Amino acid sequence: MRLRDERSYDGRTPSALGVRPNRVFSISCVAPQRLASLAKYFSLGAAVMKWISVSLTAGLALAVSCCASQQQLVGQKEDLLAAAGFQVRVADTPQRLAAMKSLPPNKFVTSVRDGRPIYKYADPLVCRCVYFGTQQNWDAYRHEVFAQQLANEAQMTAMMNQEAWDWGPWGWP
């Protein structure tokens, strides 16, 4: 990025703004109150600043949504399992508890019984139970997961387009 002048709009040097001349820097690492000064210094238009703020907002929303706890994620998965028709069996006896502990936690295990696949999902943390399902339940679960992913993508797209698009009759900023 080349600088047009050693001084910014208010007479301060780039180093006073926290930026070294002729160096590459990341906007995300610059304090938000400095963005306006940097925009004027580098002659960024209002549309670029809007794009930067929308991008930062979307990134923050994505980061916050990715910080869900393990129990929340397992709970969401269990909601989808129940909606798909998986049967829940609580590990309420020592034999069931030992059998549940033999399965990997929060992972699917497939076994064959009477020539048909059986899907098992052990949850030792949230409900201390095992979910059992057939091929039909598995297919319904996969369909629910896909529908949830589509809904999440639609929500993210709506958030990104919320402030979006002006670009004064389609001129690039």
d(CA 72, CA 138): 21
Q: Which of 3-7, 88-92, 123-127 has the lowest mean pLDDT?
A: 3-7
Tokens, residue 149: 């992913």
Residue 112 lies in a domain: yes
Domain edge (last residue) among 67, 86, 113: 67
Q: What proportion of the chain, given as a percentage, has pLDDT over 90?
A: 37
- Identify the pLDDT of residue 126: 85
Look up the domain containing 141 and give its range: 70-155
Residues 100 and 147 in one domain: yes
Residues 10 and 60 in one domain: yes
- Identify the pLDDT of residue 156: 87
Helices (H) and strands (E) in the chain, counts: 6, 4
Residues 33 and 86 in one domain: no
Domain edge (last residue) among 24, 46, 67: 67
Residues 61 and 96 in one domain: no
d(CA 131, CA 122): 6
User: Looking at the 3D structure of the chain, how many domains does it have?
Assistant: 2
Residue 132 lies in a domain: yes
pTM (predicted TM-score): 0.52
Q: How confident is the model at residue 56 (pLDDT cuts 50, 70, 90)?
A: low
